[in-house]
Structure 1
Amino acid sequence: MFSRRHPYLFFLLIIASIFSVSLIGLSLIFSFAGKDSDYSGLNKLSGEKVGIIEINGVINESKDVLDKLKRLCADNSIKAIVVRINSPGGSVGPAQEIFREIKKTALKKKIVASLGAVAASGGYYVAAGTEGIIANPGTITGSIGVVMGFTNFQELLQKIGLIPVVIKSGSYKDIGSPVRKMTEKERQILQNLSDQIHRQFISAIAEGRKMDLRKVESIADGRIFSGEEARKLGLVDRLGNLEDAIEWAGRMGGIKGKIKSVYIKDKRLPFLQYLTESALNNIFNMVSKRYLYADFMMQPI
């Protein structure tokens, strides 16, 4: 009777039921898939190996990389680690966290960085924590600097008749607001913050690369370098590809004969959780209007 009186509603309920069942089924599949080994090919390879961790895209969080570093460090069959970097940079905090964890890992196991197409700013920041860096001659790297970007919509809002209303508890709580002109005092506060983080960046490179601080300062003006030029400047140790990096790391780790390598696999989330987290991340990126850049997108300030 219901289907006859409300045919369209009945049809929508059927479609919704099918969709729900499909989501549940996919969720179960992904849940079971998430129980796979943490390593790609580890069970097939015995003996001493080189572990490979990939850092791709903008560095917005560090937990995944930190977890992988810890697991490789705890595995006795892994004698050395290669961090493969393809990143234009990312948030200052996560880049610093990864840099620190790499430095701690280097006290226990040999670790080198392999720079791909781009390893600039925060991508290079991370690489500087390793014991050696290898890049392709055409790798884009460097970009040692910090930038903040703001867009002011005040005149546009006035033209369309919108009047912003801001209630704040402190004089600088809405610093960088897009709906009013920035004051000179606010500009100086943000400039000081940028300079402070820039000094941290320079100090980390000088420490990680064992370079003279003044030499790093002379090239830390935000310019980019090719891998070939970076090697001449002391920012890179060798020119070569990922396979060369694996060979180098393996020999540093004391592996004899043919060197085997394994990739750490990303942990797979249940499908529904994946959809939820993806949606939340998209919403977060849409509403975040102010970013601190280490020459790429940084955390909201």
Structure 2
Amino acid sequence: MDDRIWKYVSAVLTLLLALSIVSVAVLYYQVNPPAVPANQTGFVIETPSNFTLVCEGSVNTTSTEVAELRDQIAFLQRLVSSNQGGTTIAVVPIFGIIDDYTALQVIPLLRNLAMNESVGGVLLWIESPGGVVGPVINIHSEIKKLSLVKPVVAYSGDIIASGGYYIAVGAQKIVASPLAEVGSIGVIYVHYDLEKNYEMNGIKVNVFKTGKHKDMGAEWRDLTPEEREKITEMVNTYFQAFISAVSEGRNMTIDEVKNFSTGETWFAENVTGALVDELGGMDTAIDVLEKLMNVSGAKVVVYKDLETPEEFGVYGSTALYIDPRYLTPLIGGG
């Protein structure tokens, strides 16, 4: 037989042997986790099914590497776990800017999942810089209702900011990748005064209105001092609602929340224990949810991606729960 064929066969047999050894080792350590010496200098990662991983020489190991390793272990653990009783985890993606379209898709789905007896828990996969006040508040409210009847975990691998974070605090737990951007707790209101631009282009705007504030915030004129006070009051009202939601959802005092209410985002690894519960990837989030469900090896169903329309419709004045970095492209300013 050709030497190349023998080499191929040998490689396959070696791989099969290695896989068998790894499988036996994983199963063995699930039943008999190794003891950790008192003088152990490496880090210890507690994983599902009482499996303990001890890593030597961890002085230079980053939180990203640790989280990635935990996620890989959680994935492998799921491969050897058995499905229990048809219990299902529903993964609901919430991507992009959160607007009326998002709410129209997400809210009915969450209500259906609340009534679906085969679904034991819901994983909210949130990758969003925020969105419009109304839809954000409505989705957050629906998540709180859902969490009354079954476990809900929020997960983000990239960005969970402003309105995206607002809806996440409705879940029992928040899991995020170490370098995911978290926070941007705040409200922004943008008013464009294009009155002089209209004049330069020979555009005259005739307005017929029933009250002096009916066109408050319109782009064809500046705001009056009284209107500026009204808008400031409105923004502060939305801000207080945001802070209260985070305080309730994260079990933090108002003052503690205010420390993170500067409008900026942080890497998840820097706010673990405050804005985030655990670091990790999708499988880590599933593992956290399974623990809340008191099951292992649950069936995971990912629902169709919720697409955000290209036209967001922001032009003129609007109040938003959104990270300001993502606002300019939406209004055609860059």
Q: 2:272 aligns with which of 231, 234, 241?
A: 231
Q: CA offsets per residue over residues 145-198 of structure 1, 9 Å max, x none?
A: 101111111222222333222111101111112222221111111010000000
User: Which residue of the other structure, out of 288, 293, 299, is the alignment partner of 2:320?
Assistant: 293
- Paired AA for residue 207 in structure 2: V
Q: Equivalent of 1:263, from 302, 310, 314?
A: 302
SS of the equivalent of 1:219 reads: coil
Name the SS of the counterpart of 1:231 in structure 2: coil
The residue aligned with 1:246 is 286
SS of the counterpart of 1:222? Answer: coil
SS in 2 for 1:182: coil
Bigger RCO (CA 8 Å, 6+ sep): 1
Secondary structure at the aligned position of 2:86 is classed as: coil
In structure 1, the residue corresponding to 2:130 is in which secondary structure? coil
Q: Contact 2:247 / 2:253 at 8 angstroms: preserved in 1? A: yes
SS at match of 1:137: coil
Query: Which TM-score applies when normalising by structure 1?
Result: 0.74
Q: Which amino acid aligns with 1:69?
A: L
* Bigger Cα displacement from structure 2, 72-81 vs 51-60: 72-81
Supply the distance in 2 between the matched residues of 1:110 and 1:60 (Cα, whole angstroms).
25
For 2:220 and 2:303, locate their aligned partners in 1 and report how far apart those are by CA, in whole Å. Answer: 46
Flag as ranges the 4+ runs of structure 1 deviating above 3 A.
265-268
Native 8 Å contact 1:114 1:133 kept in 2: yes
- State which of 62, 67, 75 in structure 1 corresponds to 2:116: 75
8 Å CA contact 1:206–1:213 kept in 2: the answer is yes
Q: Counterparts of 2:120 and 2:136 in 1: how far apart (Å)?
A: 24
Q: Which amino acid aligns with 1:264?
A: Y
Q: Give the Å deviation of 1:292.
A: 1.4
Classify the secondary structure of the residue corresponding to 1:80: strand
Distance 2:162 2:113 in 1: 25
Match of 1:140 in 2: 181
Letter aligned with residue 74 of structure 1: M
Measured after TM superposition, the shift of residue 46 of structure 1 is 7.0
SS at match of 2:259: helix
1:152 aligned partner, one-letter code? D
C-alpha RMSD over aligned residues: 2.3
Letter matched to residue 313 of structure 2: N
| Letter in structure 1 aligned against 2:99 | N
1:87-132: per-residue Cα shift (whole Å, max 9, x none)?
1101111111111111111111111000121110000001000000
1:82 aligned counterpart, secondary structure: strand
User: Can you give the 5+ residue segments of structure 1 that lack an aligned partner in the other structure?
Assistant: 1-44, 269-277
Length, aligned pairs only: 239
1:123 aligns with 2:164: yes
Q: What is the identity percentage for the equivalent residue pairs of Structure 1 and Structure 2? A: 32
Measured against aligned partners, the alpha-carbon deviations of 1:50-99 in whole angstroms (never above 9, x if no partner) come to 11111011110213211221222222222111100001101111111111
2:96 and 2:194 mapped to 1: Cα distance? Answer: 30
Structure 1 pair 266–57 and aligned structure 2 pair: CA distance change class (3 A): closer
Query: For residues 52-201 of structure 1, what are the structure 2 equivalents within 5 Å?
Result: 52-61=91-100, 62-201=103-242
1:279-300 Cα shifts (integer Å, max 9, x gaps): xx85x827x4322111256xxx
Q: 1:267 & 1:173 partners in 2: Cα distance?
A: 35
Counterpart-to-counterpart distance in 1, 2:305 and 2:176: 24
CA distance in structure 1 between the partners assigned to 2:195 and 2:97 by the alignment: 30
In the TM superposition, what is the alpha-carbon distance from 1:244 to its structure 2 partner? Answer: 0.8
